[in-house]
């Protein structure tokens, strides 16, 4: 029995290594985009309202999250939600812990859909200071990473927000993102750093310049074998992040929709070769609870095709 256990354990480790290598190859090389299915507690009510489920349909957070999980399951089990156009998906923790057709969500995504699973790991934002909103402290990060990795999660994502071109604030955002990213890399996972620049600020282009220069300086200090991903607001200047996309420490640069409509986001994205989508609202805006499955799948396919075309 002991010998059989050792053999099984060795086999599982080999399978995990092979899967990780396959996921890395897909994320770094394949055409497509990353679906962001990671709305958290604060953004879930708005997403449900957009979908057609009013606030009065639930009375507790647990009921709200269950409704959101059902929405996500409907998306993930749609025939159009596959690796043909979607190379990865970012999950909220409660979604990671849920089931799809009797399987864990990460297992279903990878084994049934060929989609690489990521996990949102930040715990929300601090109040604005020096023009930015840093991530809240996250003392439970290490056990979360261990649990996520054991469930087949490939990488993580964490978000900060930049509301003004204040050099000291942007520098602190980048420092925090890279520090947490180093923890995630040490846990054997791929970090997606997300320092979002708010799309409505008057000095957006200047903030993007400050951010790009800070990120580039930090990238140059990473070990030669290290790689990260970066998720950024679509820039005002086309092809502005070329130096980041081509940096040897960067596995991929992806873009958030950031409040742009899908049409706007896709138009802007298409002007940035090498930048691929990681959209949330722009992906699900047309989906409705009351739609038949046929209509739901058609609307989702239309969105996926549009975002895919802009990403390639």
- Residues labelled as active-site residues: 194, 231
Q: Which residues contact 10 (CB under 8 A, 6 or more apart)?
A: none
User: Which of 36, 29, 31, 32 has its CA nearest to residue 192?
Assistant: 36
User: Which of 228, 255, 296, 253 has its CA nearest to residue 80?
Assistant: 296
* DSSP-H helix ranges across 54-166: 61-76, 93-96, 105-107, 113, 141-150
User: Which of 89, 88, 42 has its CA nearest to residue 68?
Assistant: 42
257 touches 265 (CB < 8 A): yes
The DSSP symbol for 56 reads G
The DSSP symbol for 136 reads P
Q: What is the rounded CA–CA span in Å between residue 122 and residue 92?
A: 10
Cα of 79 vs its chain's centroid, Å: 21
User: Which of 277, 274, 252 has its CA nearest to residue 265?
Assistant: 277
User: Which of 86, 105, 103, 109 has its CA nearest to residue 95?
Assistant: 105
């Amino acid at each position: 029995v002991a010998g059989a256990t050792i053999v099984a354990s060795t086999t599982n480790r080999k399978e995990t290594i092979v899967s990780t290598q396959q996921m890395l190859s897909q994320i770094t090389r394949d055409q497509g985009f990353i679906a962001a299915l990671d709305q958290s507690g604060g953004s879930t009510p708005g997403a449900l309202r957009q979908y057609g489920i009013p606030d009065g349909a639930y009375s507790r957070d647990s009921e709200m999250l269950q409704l959101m999980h059902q929405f996500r399951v409907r998306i993930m089990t749609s025939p159009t939600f596959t690796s043909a156009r979607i190379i990865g998906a970012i999950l909220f923790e409660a979604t990671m812990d849920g089931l799809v057709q009797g399987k864990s969500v990460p297992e279903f995504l990878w084994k049934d859909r060929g989609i690489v699973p990521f996990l949102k790991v930040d715990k929300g934002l601090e109040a604005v200071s020096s023009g930015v909103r840093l991530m809240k402290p996250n003392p439970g990060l290490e056990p979360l990473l261990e649990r996520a990795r054991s469930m087949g999660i490939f990488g993580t994502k964490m978000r900060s927000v930049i509301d003004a071109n204040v050099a000291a604030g942007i520098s602190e955002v980048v420092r925090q993102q890279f520090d947490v990213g180093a923890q995630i890399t040490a846990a054997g996972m791929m970090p997606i750093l997300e320092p979002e620049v708010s799309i409505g600020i008057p000095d957006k282009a200047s903030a993007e310049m400050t951010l790009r220069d800070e990120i580039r300086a930090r990238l140059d200090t990473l070990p030669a074998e290290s790689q990260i991903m970066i998720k950024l607001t679509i820039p005002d200047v086309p092809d502005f992040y070329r130096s980041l996309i081509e940096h040897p420490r960067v596995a991929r640069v992806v873009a958030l929709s950031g409040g742009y409509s899908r049409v706007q986001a896709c138009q802007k994205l298409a002007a940035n070769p090498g930048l691929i989508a990681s959209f949330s609202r722009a992906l699900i805006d047309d989906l409705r609870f009351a739609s038949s499955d046929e209509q739901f799948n058609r609307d989702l396919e239309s969105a996926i095709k549009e975002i895919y075309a802009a990403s390639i």
